[in-house]
Amino acid sequence: MKLSHIDYPKAIKNKLKEACDGEFSSYLLDPKLTSLRTICEIIVDRELSKADENTFRLFFNIAKEDDLKKGIQKFDIDRLKPIQFFIKRENYNAGVEYLEILAIMVDFKPRPLSNFIKNDSLDSPKSEKTTDDRKSTFFEPKEDEKGFSRKKKIGFWILGFTVMLLAGYGIKELVVPEKQCMVWKGDHYEKIDCQDEKLGLIHEIVIPFDENEFELRKIKVCDTTTFLKNGKAIVWYGKKDGEVTFFNQDGRNPENGDELKEITTYMINKYVGECD
């Protein structure tokens, strides 16, 4: 089954349950904000991957030249509340930036989200490893049990190397064709190559390209905006951290993955102001 950003919080939640029996169990079973920060400090003391370090620096707003651990210690821990809520509540939807931090805390892989959606399933990394192992075994030199001549052995390896190059090129084109994804950029989606190595540094939600979803736009509304046509909504809305935003069509909120809702008279009266 093809993975998407919708599967990411579910997968992390499952890993979280395992982590509650692991090294940080005392912190995760009673996730105080100070405890969550402590986990981050402990992780920083260990060897971080470049991608994880970038994730921490972006989230905690720490410059590259500044000490990462000291920056985390000075960080306003109230910003960790969405992670706390995600751990304690069954159906809480945390934003992707919070999920990335929790993924590091519980050592969920593959991470970040951009790497997660490259896999067709959670077992994909294992199957890739198996494929690599098979290639390595196939081309590994074997003992010359039948006394092949030196020329025959050289010919064998030239042939094998040629086959490997051709097969590798063919497999890349057939098995791993160029995939199109899309990333939310402020108020609209933009296309992006799913295989781009820079995706690991992108912290917006990246999802497989969908022609209908690609037309989604965040829009500005005011009291002269047309919200209904023939009695049907033509504007949808979503909420994130208490802030209401409006969109031109149905779909999912690109900022947290929640289903968008049809505009109602109540929402118009409560949240829509006068035009400037």
- Give the tens place of pLDDT for each residue, 170-196: 444 444 344 577 888 889 999 887 665
Highest mean pLDDT among 78-92, 145-159, 230-244: 230-244
Using DSSP, state whether 174 is helix, strand or coil.
Answer: helix
Burial class (CB in 10 A: 0-12, 13-18, 19+), 274: exposed
Torsion of CA 172, 174, 178, 182, to 10 degrees: -130
| Per-residue pLDDT at 160 | 63
Residue predicted with more confidence, 235 or 93: 235
**Distance separating alpha carbons of residues 258 and 186, to the nearest angstrom:** 16
pTM (2 d.p.): 0.49
Name which residue leads in pLDDT, 208 or 43: 43
In this predicted structure, the answer to whether residue 104 has a pLDDT above a threshold of 90 is yes
pLDDT surpasses 90 at 133 = no
Token reading at 250: 């149905």
Q: What is the pLDDT of residue 126?
A: 44
**Which pLDDT score is estimated for 222?**
95
pLDDT at residue 42 greater than cutoff 80: yes
Q: What are phi and psi of 52, to 5 degrees?
A: -65, -40
Encoded amino acid at 244, one letter: V
The model's pLDDT over 112-123, given as tens digits with 9 standing for 90+, comes to 888 888 876 665
| Phi, psi (rounded to 5 degrees) for 233 | -70, 135
Percent of the chain beyond pLDDT 70? 73
In terms of Cβ atoms closer than 10 Å to its own Cβ (0-12, 13-18, 19+), residue 273 is exposed
What is d(CA 194, CA 108) in angstroms, rounded to the nearest whole number? 20
Q: Per residue in 206-262, pLDDT tens? A: 677 788 889 999 999 999 999 999 888 999 999 888 899 999 999 888 887 788 999
The predicted pLDDT at position 138 comes to: 40
Q: How far apart are CA 74 and CA 62, in angstroms?
A: 10
Torsion of Cα atoms, 259 then 263 then 268 then 271, to 10°: 10
Q: Are strands 218-219 and 243-247 parallel, antiparallel or unpaired?
A: antiparallel
